[in-house]
């Protein structure tokens, strides 16, 4: 139990013990079918990026899968992409125009969404985790993280970083307040998670006078404050390790090379070694033991076509 108290709120939520009859685990044939859907969505996203000269690179476990497995990590149940912050709005606009009705694109501008990473969701499917409100759009999705410029001046960089950390925290708390009823229900059996949720919901209440969208737009404005597109460093302030934890040399991170992913040749960061060491440690080429592998638990899951049955 002492180990769990050191986890972040998000990690506590990921490790909740949910009743077996309430959850759906993606494994075996169902996982493989799901990966095929994710691959199809990724193909559409990347084709648009390449047609419209929009920068992209595989991110997180998807990039690691390309390097280590030449495709999906066998047990992986998500797909991540990085784009440049200055091109996020352009991507959302052209992608929605190219695929009207097929996908829902959610960004910081989307009402009641409230995340800095964008999502491309496949309409006619469902992938609702225990972290998703019951009334939200929850189609099978790919996450799109944003690379932002970092100030070259060290004082400005540090101030910007603190602002990013604070605004990201407050936006997260505002979302927890929005989702408080469901979060309370799923954490009641876990004292550590329940306590962490109550604290974040309380902070979120202080900002409840602002809409989720307004807070997300404000946070985006803070994340994108640096306008120097040639700065020495870039960061993924909305990533798992936030602004300071995910700050990289532009020359190694923004420059890309091609790697094979399920018979496609897609972009990954040129200095993927440094990137993976930040996210996964120096031994990233060795697959983790089964009990350390990341997985998502779903309360509702339907592949395309299942909703028509």
Q: What is the pLDDT of residue 130?
A: 65
- Percent of the chain whose pLDDT exceeds 90: 71
Domain that holds residue 111: 12-150+234-308
Ramachandran class of 287: left when φ > 0, alpha when ψ lies in -120 to 50, beta otherwise: beta
Judge whether 189 lies within some domain.
Answer: no
User: Coil, strand, or helix at residue 69?
Assistant: coil
Judge whether 160 lies within some domain.
Answer: no
Instruction: Name 267's bridge partners.
Output: 258
Read off the pLDDT of each residue in 94-117 and give the average, rounded to a whole number: 93
* CATH number of the domain within which 100 lies: 3.30.460
Q: What is the pLDDT of residues 18-32, one digit of tens each?
A: 554 567 888 899 999
Strands 247-249 and 256-261: unpaired
Q: What is the pLDDT of residues 117-131, one digit of tens each?
A: 999 999 999 988 766
Tell me how many domains the chain contains: 1
Read off the pLDDT band of 170 (50, 70, 90). Answer: very high
Judge whether 67 lies within some domain.
Answer: yes
Judge whether 220 lies within some domain.
Answer: no
Judge whether 5 lies within some domain.
Answer: no
Contacts of 152-160 with C-beta under 8 Å, sequence gap 24+, read: 152/228, 152/231, 152/232, 152/233, 156/226, 157/233, 160/222, 160/225, 160/226, 160/243
Q: What is the pLDDT of residues 286-300, one digit of tens each?
A: 999 987 887 777 888
Instruction: Name 266's bridge partners.
Output: 259
The kind and range of the H/E element at 197 are helix 191-206
Judge whether 178 lies within some domain.
Answer: no
Judge whether 211 lies within some domain.
Answer: no
Judge whether 201 lies within some domain.
Answer: no
* Residue 190 predicted with pLDDT over 70: yes
Q: Which two tokens stand for residue 66?
A: 């390309």
Q: Which two tokens stand for residue 91?
A: 């991507």
Q: What is the pLDDT of residue 119?
A: 94
Strands 57-58 and 80-84: antiparallel
């Amino acid at each position: 139990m002492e180990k769990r108290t050191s986890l972040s709120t998000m990690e506590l939520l990921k490790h909740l013990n949910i009743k077996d009859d309430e959850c759906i685990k993606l494994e075996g044939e169902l996982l493989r079918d799901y990966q095929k859907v994710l691959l199809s969505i990724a193909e559409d996203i990347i084709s648009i990026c390449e047609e419209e000269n929009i920068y992209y690179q595989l991110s997180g476990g998807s990039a690691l899968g390309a390097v280590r497995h030449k495709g999906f990590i066998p047990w992986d149940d998500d797909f991540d992409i990085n784009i440049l912050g200055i091109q996020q709005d352009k991507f959302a606009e052209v992608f929605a125009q190219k695929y009207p009705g097929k996908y829902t694109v959610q960004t910081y501008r989307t009402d009641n969404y409230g995340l800095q990473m964008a999502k491309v969701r496949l309409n006619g499917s469902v992938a609702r985790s225990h972290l998703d409100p019951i009334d939200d759009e929850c189609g099978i999705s790919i996450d799109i993280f944003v690379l932002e410029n970092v100030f070259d001046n060290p004082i400005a960089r540090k101030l910007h970083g603190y602002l990013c950390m604070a605004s990201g925290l407050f936006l997260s708390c505002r979302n927890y307040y929005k989702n408080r009823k469901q979060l309370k229900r799923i954490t009641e059996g876990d004292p550590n998670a329940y306590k962490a949720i109550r604290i974040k919901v309380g902070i979120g209440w202080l900002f409840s006078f602002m809409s989720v969208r307004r807070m997300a737009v404000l946070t985006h404005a803070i994340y994108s404050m640096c306008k120097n597109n040639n700065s020495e460093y870039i960061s993924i302030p909305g990533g798992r390790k936030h602004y300071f934890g995910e700050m990289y040399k532009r020359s190694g991170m923004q420059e890309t090379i091609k790697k094979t992913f399920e018979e496609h040749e897609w972009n990954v960061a040129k200095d993927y070694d440094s990137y993976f060491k930040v996210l996964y440690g120096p031994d990233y080429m060795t697959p983790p033991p089964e009990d350390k592998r990341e997985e998502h638990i779903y309360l509702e899951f339907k592949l395309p076509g299942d909703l028509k049955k």
